[in-house]
Amino acid sequence: MATSSKRSFGWLLALVGLVAFATFGVVALLVNIFERKQEARKPFVRLVEVNEVSTDPKPWGVNFPLQYESYLRTADTERTTYGGNHSMSPSKLKEFPWLKRLYAGYAFSIEYREARGHAYMLGDQEVTKRVTEVQQAGACLHCHAAIAPTYRRVGLEKMGKDASEETLGESFDQEAVIAGFKALSQMKYEEVHAELTKTPDGVVKAAEGDPHLGDAHPVSCVDCHDPETMSIRVTRPGFILGIAKLAESDDPVPHLPSIQKWRDSKSKTPYDPNVDATRQEMRSFVCGQCHVEYYCANKMTLTFPWSNGLKVEDLEKEWEETTFPDTEEGKSGGEFYDYVHKETGTPVFKAQHPEFELWSQGIHARAGVSCSDCHMPYERQGATKVSSHWVRSPMLNINKACQTCHHVSEDELKARVDTIQGRTQALMARAASAMTDMLDAIVSAQKAGASEEDLKPIRELQRKAMWRLDYISSENSKGFHADQEAARILGESIDYSRQAQAAAYRLGGSPKPEEGDVAVSQAD
């Protein structure tokens, strides 16, 4: 009887212990869930105050250590086949010698290297031979530096208003930013760079009388985030003015629904991305501030050519209709061009890096996929979901950048991208071959005594051919952002080059091919 009682008591103790253990486990789980929810609800603690002059990213990093840690990795040197970082990025001129002929007479023929990560975007610009050996316009710093506070300071000074550090840090003041942007756009590179260091950066504290109040920084946190609310925003005046022109055009933009909504509202206030755009659109707009085509020399204010739309021919049409402002002496500015081709003397256009425009023609844009979804994908850090600020090729982060939507293997996804980029590269090589043949034919026709009147339509074809080849070769996705559009543009480049080549032969260019050879060339 006693043994039975002891056995029952033992089972009772075991049951009590099991219940206590289970209760402890459940309570621990609930506490953990509660803590994680609180962590996710408040992912940062404001330990350091940042404001509108905080161009140095370090103070932001105290408040946002996860984002800052990944931002610092933009200095890493991992590369893909067609881009990424490198301790000394490869020269495109050596890899593709035809680029020297494409850019003959332009600074890019002196030095042109693969782009590195955002951490290098200012330093690499400061030391490139395009800047050290050729006089450049300060408008180039519109995208390579955290320049909005400098625009605001200069703008306030031009408007006769207080431009103290306290005032500069209070608000973005878009009116002053745009005024400063217009004032600096046509100044020399070294002059605008000096203005950067006259603007407080929130960290450097200069002695009284020292004209250097801060450091020049590459694109930083303040360029894409409101320091008070941390919401995404655009700060580049070129984009703000350019996207407003696009909204006023008739170009269908199904991938940007807020623009159509603005059009339907018949609003009399210009489209403002910081007011009208959706958050998902803003996750592309912050990239589209700089990864675009624009004019940035010193004959006129930096301009995004979006009055007619975002396709290559829309941008070309605006440039064709643009004239430079008259000089102070009253001399006509003349028709717009970027540079005069050294070999042929033809005024031509120079494409910058039209990633936003080409992406706008692609399937990902139509599907609502933003630039950040692929180049800054969300990551899980503990209970916190953050967008990686290690901006890089999706091919270096396939799992998070691609497989969220594409449920196939990494090898399959990489093979698809390799196919698209390989085909684009092959088409580009054919377009480059057609271009060099065209240049040889034009030079030969000039030597044979062709008149300027006879050369005029050939120059038009040359400009169109080179603009399209440059457009895709300067765009950094190697066709992936919109593969069919890239193929169309390169096909047109080949066609225009061959038309110009054949026309030059008819003017007495040499060597003059047989008729059958011309037909083959035109079909190339």
What confidence tier does 328 reach under pLDDT thresholds 50, 70, 90? Answer: confident
Q: What is the pairing mode between strands 378-381 and 384-387?
A: antiparallel
Of residues 237, 238, 198, the one with CA closest to residue 215: 198
Q: Is the pLDDT of residue 245 over 50?
A: yes
When pLDDT is averaged across residues 465-493 and rounded to a whole number, the result is 97
Instruction: Please give the Cα distance from 474 to 112 (Å, whole number).
Output: 11
Contact 435, 98 (CB under 8 A): yes
Q: pLDDT at position 517, please?
A: 39
Q: pLDDT at position 511, please?
A: 61
Model confidence over 249-271: pLDDT tens digits? 999 999 999 999 999 999 999 99
Of residues 498, 475, 501, the one with CA closest to residue 487: 475
What confidence tier does 516 reach under pLDDT thresholds 50, 70, 90? Answer: very low
Q: pLDDT at position 519, please?
A: 32
| DSSP structural state of residue 97 | T
Q: pLDDT at position 19, please?
A: 75
Contact 385, 379 (CB under 8 A): yes
Residue of 481 and 298 predicted with greater confidence = 481
Model confidence over 112-166: pLDDT tens digits? 988 888 989 999 999 999 999 999 999 999 999 999 999 999 999 999 999 999 9
Model confidence over 424-442: pLDDT tens digits? 999 999 999 999 999 999 9
Q: Is the pLDDT of residue 39 over 90?
A: no
Q: Is the pLDDT of residue 79 over 70?
A: no
Contact 116, 124 (CB under 8 A): yes
Q: pLDDT at position 523, please?
A: 30
Find all residues with CB under 8 Å of 85, minimum gap 6, and list them. 74, 75, 76, 77, 78, 79, 116, 117, 120
Token pair listed for 199: 């603007």
Model confidence over 84-99: pLDDT tens digits? 555 567 899 999 999 9
| Average pLDDT of the chain, as a whole number | 89
Instruction: Please give the Cα distance from 492 to 431 (Å, whole number).
Output: 9
Q: pLDDT at position 74, please?
A: 87
Q: pLDDT at position 513, please?
A: 47
